Chain A
């Protein structure tokens, strides 16, 4: 099947109107010897029914969180999604629109982004938020870029307890640039303050940490913020927005720029995307922010109305001097977050955060009591923690899969020193029975 609307007869009429015999007559500017003449090596055309069957077959080869109890987190969280979210984001008026370049017929997108910006500001305590970036990792890079531009300094101190993939992305962007990235090691699960202090000079543009960090541990952010500011460096955090249902707002501990992965706000785990890059900052940096920003104004009838604003920062105006090259972002994912937060409200978000952390502490406590198992870091954590097994963790995870449980994430690949260690995550979706079953199987690991 295809989605071409014209009939053969329509096309004939068009050709007649154009005074040509065939579409090939329109292709004279193309190098003729390069035009594809043989059949493409693609599958044969299929009906919608066949497409659905094929995708069902592919989907059936995957283990989904709908059928498995998932104890994986590490930047992708299996939270409950209220039915309001897909009902709204599946409205064609939203998902088949382009970027709101024509505000008179895009108030739906514009106002929802304005509301989303407000919610992100309220969650983080920041003054301004943008309309979204690609994901948590690229948002972190953009924050670093802004910090270097703002401070005109070129050293960045990045905690090693930040998501390894986020650090990899930052590294990709900054390799061979004038910006020097120094990694700050962790000690007992937290960024090593002494190591940080020894590197923190007046050449440092920003100190970058994750809260809760990759291990789920709560960083001493108050102290980290103060130390950064003492040297005139900006303090950048990458946050897990659901945790802000109970944790202190980044503004309260002195964050200058807050980034984060917004997937936990109503987006499915989706094998890693589409996700939602959160970016918010203090007023001072507003004109250096990347991405779209929506502002309120009025129309020529005196009504409240919304438009894209502060566009002089952007690529279509500023070209090579733009603050970022971003154009399309993740607007529909921001809409998901907006509907999610509207549906949950502050109390609902608190329940999600509380149930997640309670479940995680229950599990950690149970694992800590299994002979041979050890909880690596004896420090405050949110809904993830690291535990080390006495025996083979690959065999353990395979056994769990047979019981429809997806176990913790083996960490050795990212941190060679963390042998036989697993990062466990618990969300509000994990029942006591699921946790108890997990624990009973962990007990068999020796």
Chain B
């Protein structure tokens, strides 16, 4: 394993001119100055590069291989997106530069919002949220503002989430001050209409729904769900994490969603960065646009402006305007694919997932077996002596990233697989072969799976020990070993 950077000692390289060491004392009263030197690594540039290069080799990204991490849409991240995001005229603009200095940036924001509106059918859009969950809180605050503005006398204090929902949905609703109530799924994997009906009432502010849901299934009754929700006076929130399935295929606004977030880092090809930065645009129907965060970009003639004042806006959810350079990448993606390319995305994602499902069904049970959208959920066989975790770890030995595991919660031992549209049949076939072999190993040699992975830089890690010892930073002489 690679040393910690603090364990290197070499001569630091200097990157800026040396400053007069007395200058701080000259200008700033000593009570504000630090007494001891900050402890930071002291290493040469060569060591910095070798260290982080060594670390990178312990990682696995989409560039390394197949990454069928369900719900995360690990599609290929086009390199042109990276190139353009580095342009000085994009990466080097100060957020408070005067409007006349940032006409290109404002145009990009304006046009990207337009592209997103076009593929979603929404009337309003904001790029301010920094991720999916941040889009969720933005959307739920919009819903709260809408109810308060339109019928302040009503007490809509509850948000409904299906039992298949991602953890951020209930966490978001609670954060916005709502009580959370769970709605059951039926035996088809759709939201249970009777249970929904029972739960809807004058206390419900919204239903948060993911469509396709986290089983990878299209909510067949979506129009009926939407009708019931709206009849009760509630709004329909869309978790757009799975929008890749629908891209170019159907517009969420036309399914009855009132507000929805998009994960630009899923559907629109921007990289995940090992856990961000992403971006979570939020779209709304016309009735909710007055509440959108400020500022909004507007166009007058050929010029673009910030509109900072909007009486009913929920305000700001992030400093400045959101993760602009992620928006730049999404813009480049839209521009490359254009109308023709975008029309193919959802369909190809669905085709690939159904192919993989069809092949893997030979080896693994798929509890909700109907035609899937962009992903599906399978499990080990009951009588195998191995768990989903063991299978996931063994997949590493075959050179792939494992699927999402133990989610959604309603499927015992779930493995959620999403190939995305960018993967080839050839890659999927290799993956199917590997999973076929693992299925055989699960029967013949379960111990092998329990020891997996054997080929990775580190083996299985003692998570309980991490939680007990709580070594959360490097301190000389302290070591988990």
Contacts and interface: CB of A to CB of B under 8 A. Distances in A.
B217 interface: yes
A247 interface: yes
Contacts of A195: none
Contacts of B40: 119, 122-123, 341-342, 344-346, 349
A23 B92 contact: no
B277 A327 contact: no
Contacts of B174: 320-322, 325
Contact of B471 (A68, A76, A107, A295): A295
Interface in B176-193: 177, 180
A346 to B, nearest CB: 5
The 7 closest A-B pairs by CB, nearest first: A272-B320, A59-B89, A61-B104, A92-B63, A332-B273, A96-B61, A64-B92
A175 B33 contact: no
Contacts of A295: 466-467, 469-472
Contact of A118 (B133, B326, B473): B473
A105 B62 CA distance: 12
Contacts of A117: 472-473
B6 A118 contact: yes
6 contacts: A59-B88, A94-B61, A274-B326, A309-B467, A328-B278, A406-B98
Nearest to B457: A107
Contact of B345 (A2, A86, A87): A2
B477 interface: no
Interface in B9-46: 12-21, 23-24, 27-29, 31-35, 37-43, 45
Nearest to A126: B473
Contacts of A270: 90-91, 93, 324-325
Interface string B387-410: 000001100100001101001000
Contacts, number: 695
A107 B59 contact: yes
Contacts of A54: 335
Contacts of A65: 88, 92-94
B244 interface: no
A214 to B, nearest CB: 12
Contacts of A132: 276
Given A172-B315, A332-B276, A315 B168 contact: yes
A358 B463 contact: no
Nearest to B427: A5
Contact of B133 (A105, A307, A327): A327
A329 B15 CA distance: 29
Contacts of B320: 75-76, 135, 165, 271-273, 275
Interface stretch (B136-144, B229-237, B377-385, B436-444): B136-144
A305 interface: yes
Contacts of A303: 1, 458-459, 481
A92 B61 contact: yes
Interface in B318-367: 318-326, 328, 331-332, 334-345, 347-348, 350-352, 354-355, 358-359
Interface in A315-346: 315-322, 324-333, 335, 338-339, 341-346
A348 B331 CA distance: 37
Contact of A165 (B45, B273, B314, B316): B316
Contacts of B217: 29
A298 B324 contact: no
B15 A82 contact: yes
Q: Which of A59, A100, A112, A244 has the largest number of chain B CB atoms within 10 A?
A: A59
Interface string A120-138: 0111000011011011111
Interface string A33-62: 011100111111111101110111111111
B168 A341 contact: no
Contacts of A91: 52-53, 56
A18 B358 contact: yes
Q: Which of A92, A297, A350 has the largest number of chain B CB atoms within 10 A?
A: A297
Interface residues of B, number: 205
B248 A44 contact: no
A416 interface: no
A128 B473 contact: yes
A365 B316 CA distance: 36
B4 A115 contact: yes
Q: Which of A26, A134, A138 has the largest number of chain B CB atoms within 10 A?
A: A134
B456 to A, nearest CB: 4
B348 A98 contact: no
Given A76-B320, A168-B315, A301-B458, A247 B95 contact: no
A188 interface: no
Nearest to A357: B27
Nearest to B23: A358
Interface stretch (A7-15, A196-204, A229-237): A7-15
A347 B12 contact: yes
A308 B324 CA distance: 28
A333 B279 CA distance: 13
Contacts of A317: 167
A171 B168 CA distance: 21
A48 B31 CA distance: 56
B205 interface: no
A321 B334 CA distance: 38
A41 B396 CA distance: 42
A102 B392 contact: yes
Interface in A177-235: 177, 218, 222
A335 B41 contact: no
Nearest to B51: A342
Interface string A64-103: 1111101010111010101010111011111111111111
B424 A299 contact: no
B201 to A, nearest CB: 19
